Structures are given as C-alpha cells and as structure tokens.
Structure 1
Amino acid sequence: MHSLIDIGLNLTEKSFAKDSNEVVDRAIQSGVGQMILTGSSVSGSEKSLTIAKQYPNILFSTAGIHPHEASEFTQDSILSLKQLAQHPEVVAIGECGLDFNRMYSSQQIQEKCFEAQLELARELDMPLFLHVRDAHERFVEIMENHSDLINKAVVHCFTGNTTEVKKYVSMGFHIGVTGWICDERRGQDLQEAVKYIPLDRLMVETDAPYLTPRTLRPKPKHGRNEPAFLPYIAGEIAKYMGVSAEDIAKHSVENTKRFFQL
C-alpha cells in the first residue's frame, strides 16, 4: 500500500493542543506519510507553519482566510499571507472560498476576501485550497472568471451531489474527499457522486478533528477525528468508486505530490 497523504488537517484546533505530536506519530505509524495543515486565518496559518517546520518533509501547511473569518480580512491580511507563502513548507493559498451555510461573514465580505486570495495565488503562482458550502452557483460564477487558476485548485472537503461534482470535474478542479462519505445520514449524495471523480483528480483528507467517520469501529475516544484514520476513509472511498484501496492510495498520492509539488 502506498503511504497516504492527508491534504486537510486542522492540527491547530484546541482538541489537539495536548497531544499533537502523538497524533502525527500515530498517523505515520498508520501509513499516512505526509500531512498538510490547514490555515484558516492569518494567526492560524502562522501556527500551522510553526508546527509544520517541526516535521520537515512530513508536515506542510496552507496560508489562507476561511470565509467564516472573512470579516477580519484587510489588505494587511493579504500581505501577511504573502509573507507566509515565502516559506517552503507553505504549499497552497487557502482555505478560502464561500460558505453561505452559516454566514458568519456577509456574502459581500466573503467574496471580497475570496477574490483577494485568488489574486494572491495568481501573483505567487501557487495552488488553491478551496472551501465551498451551500454556495455552488456563486462559487462557479466566480471561478469561471478565474479559469486560469482552476487546474491548480482543489475543492477541499467536497460534500456535494453528482450534478455539482460533474460541473467541478468539467471545469478542471481536483476534488478532496473526507470521511463525510461514511455518514449514512448525510453522505448518500457523496457516495453516489464519487463515482464521477476521475482517479487523476482525486485527493483524500480527514479534515480532522472534524468529520470522524461514523462507521469507524471501535469509535475513537471523545469522537475526535485523526489523520491516522485516513486509510479507513480511503477504503470507504474505494468501495463507492468501485476500485481497489491500492488504486485510491496510488492515484491520490501521485495527484497530491504533483499538485502541491511535495
């Protein structure tokens, strides 16, 4: 089995504060050889980079402002992200995008923050780590105006349906899939949609500590998701895509290394 790569891990979250080193070690022992820590704010991106530097060539990070944090966005924020992106451990701009589910920031502010990060990725010629929830149509409109960036963009934590995934694939996006696929209540659309993701566009991720696979046995203590569970998620993705777990591992690792230049 190829050593997997987790493209989305929130290691700066409070639930990892006391044992982040053990979490990384367990992941490595479980066959997850590299992990990318998600930056969701300027301060969070700084923390992710600090942790990544402790594990050369194992941990990497992104630098970005999540739509939930868009109300904090200023031009100084973009300058801070640009400075962070100079570090070799930082492999993408994001997590950025649109979230019309909870609307912690207004649509107008979200779009302004998103556009600024798209321009930064273009300026730096870096990949994009994208978030979209309940905002598919507007997200597509914006990205069609930035079509030159799409081949270097991954829709992280895709939880949508077949119509949405077909559109993203036709546009040229890579797609990141999480343990959402293991949710018998909410994951049925995704279980069907993954059949339409080409193997050369697929990436795998945990989004830990969130989205613990509901079918995982035994259930983890405190319900916390970890990158060590990625092989289980990859196996479930394989089941619904109708391919082997080895195929998922091989292609997702090749795609991830090429995309992020790991």
Structure 2
Amino acid sequence: MQLIDIGVNLTNPCYDGQHEAVIERARGAGVVQMVLTGTSVEGSEQALALAQRHDPAAQRLFSTAGVHPHDAAQWNTASERQLAALLDQRQVVAVGECGLDFNRDFSPRPAQEAAFEAQLALAVEHRLPVFIHEREAHPRLLAILKPFRDRLPAAVVHCFTGERQALFGYLDLDLHIGITGWICDERRGTHLHELVGNIRPGRLMLETDAPYLLPRTLRPKPKSRHNEPAFLPEVLREVARHRGETEQQLAAHSSACARAFFGLPALD
C-alpha cells in the first residue's frame, strides 16, 4: 500500500537535523512520495533545496512554491520574479501555498487578494496546479478563482476544514480537496465525517500538514507532539472509515489522484 503526503512543512525548524530520519520513518510507514510546502519565497527556496538534497533523482520528494496569505503584505514585483524562477525548477510541482485567510488576517485582505490573483496568473503561465489555503473566506476565494479556472490545469483546497456549502462550492468548480488529521479531532473536526463521502475518487487527496495537526486519535502520541508524514496512515484510517471504504481502496485512489494532480512519477 503506497501513500502520498501532499502537504509537509519539512522546512519547519522543529525538523532541523532530523530531515533524513523523518523521511525514512515516512517511507517505513508506506508514505512513498511527499510534496514539501513552500509558504514564502525564502521558504519555497528552502523546500526545493531539501527536495533536491534528499532526492536528487526527483522520484520521491517534490515541493511547491508560493506566498501564503499570512505573508501577502510582503508580496511585490521582486517576489513575483523570484517565484517565477522557482516554478521552472524540475521538482517544483505546484504554485502555492497561496490563497485567503480571513480568520487571522495577518495581512490586509486587499493584499491577500492581490497576491492570490498574481499567483493564479503565474500558475496559468507556467501550466502548474495551485495549492490553496482558505480560512473563513470561501465566497471571496471562489469569486477570485472562477475567472482563472478554465485556464488552470487543476487546483486543490488543501487542509479542508470548512462546511458543506464551501465543499460543494469547490467541487462544483471541479477543485480537488486535501484532508488532514483535522478529521481526527473530536473537538472541531466531526463535521467532516459526513462530508468526506461526497468527494468522489479522483478529487480526494490526503496530507498531514506536518508538523501541525497531529491526529488526536493517534496512539501512542510522539513525545515531541509534532506531526510527521509517518502518521499519514492515521488520517487514511479515519477518512476510509467515514467513506465506507477499505484503507487499501482509499490509498489506491487518493495516491493515483495525487500522482495525476502533481505529475509525479510512478514507483515500482
């Protein structure tokens, strides 16, 4: 059974000095390919460098390149040029993490919207899919995304945590959906239990968003309390249970979906 983790923040300082061990533990858990998330120009450069260093053959580690809405206030023409250069690199497989976050508003909303639109334009230009972050902003995000949708190869709303209206709005626009350990959280994720069955095979992917969102159903819990890709099977188990699928069925179609979405090579 092969799994693909589409969202790993491997550049997070909590992993310093542990990258090889994290990658090996993931492989031991059946996570055979990972997409490392870029959330700023510098962070995107670091994610690509990690992928290149630990997988020079470009078979198992890949990265995204983008500017997160939290950092959108720093977006400028230099950011755009630097990001465009990263998007030409072999192991960069998506534009993002980009989008809108009206929950924390770390950057002004007009700045978030401008940075998001600019990155959608880059995705169109480079013919790459988009890795999207959205919190409490789905109506505005859909309004910005719709004019670009026909020109984009694909787009995924990563770490989906929203309600039914948001999910169906995204599915109606033929977007992909990424599900994390949020679904394992009995305090705030139980609404996802009845929703995940509405995501058809070919549109559903799995992710840890490590080191965040450690699955609360995981036993035993790591002493560090940090999530990592090796714990993706826990997300698989919970999602499969609520979709009425076997873990093998879900692993097969979610991994096939991720490979097609990001253009990842097939492994033996």
Normalised by the shorter chain, which TM-score bucket?
Answer: over 0.9
Partners in 2 of 1:195 and 1:167 — Cα distance? 15
| Residues 98-134 of structure 1, C-alpha deviations (whole Å, 9 max, x = no match) | 0001100000000000000000000111110011101
Residue of structure 2 equivalent to 1:153: 155
Residue of structure 1 equivalent to 2:173: 171
Residue of structure 2 equivalent to 1:16: 15
Does the 8 A contact of 2:123 with 2:152 survive in 1? no
Q: Does 1:102 align with 2:104?
A: yes
Query: How far apart are residue 149 of structure 1 and its match?
Result: 4.4
TM superposition score normalised by structure 1 = 0.97
Residue of structure 2 equivalent to 1:231: 233
Does the 8 A contact of 1:162 with 1:192 survive in 2? no
Considering only aligned residues, what root-mean-square deviation do their CA atoms show, in Å? 1.0
Partners in 2 of 1:248 and 1:175 — Cα distance? 14
Residue of structure 2 equivalent to 1:50: 49
Partners in 2 of 1:206 and 1:149 — Cα distance? 29
Does the 8 A contact of 1:162 with 1:196 survive in 2? no
Q: What is the count of residue pairs matched by the alignment?
A: 261
Q: Which amino acid aligns with 1:20?
A: H
Query: Relative to structure 2, which stretch is displaced further, 86-95 or 145-154?
Result: 145-154
- Return structure 1 stretches of 4+ with deviation > 2 angstroms: none
Q: Which amino acid aligns with 2:110?
A: Q
Gaps of 5+ in 1: none
Does the 8 A contact of 1:212 with 1:223 survive in 2? yes
Partners in 2 of 1:64 and 1:115 — Cα distance? 12
Query: How far apart are residue 151 of structure 1 and its match?
Result: 5.3
Does the 8 A contact of 1:63 with 1:90 survive in 2? yes
Partners in 2 of 1:150 and 1:74 — Cα distance? 22
Q: Percent identity?
A: 51
TM superposition score normalised by structure 2 = 0.95
Residue of structure 1 equivalent to 2:82: 80
Gaps of 5+ in 2: none
Query: How far apart are residue 161 of structure 1 and its match?
Result: 1.5
Partners in 1 of 2:235 and 2:166 — Cα distance? 21
Partner SS state of residue 95, structure 1: strand
Query: How far apart are residue 76 of structure 1 and its match?
Result: 0.9
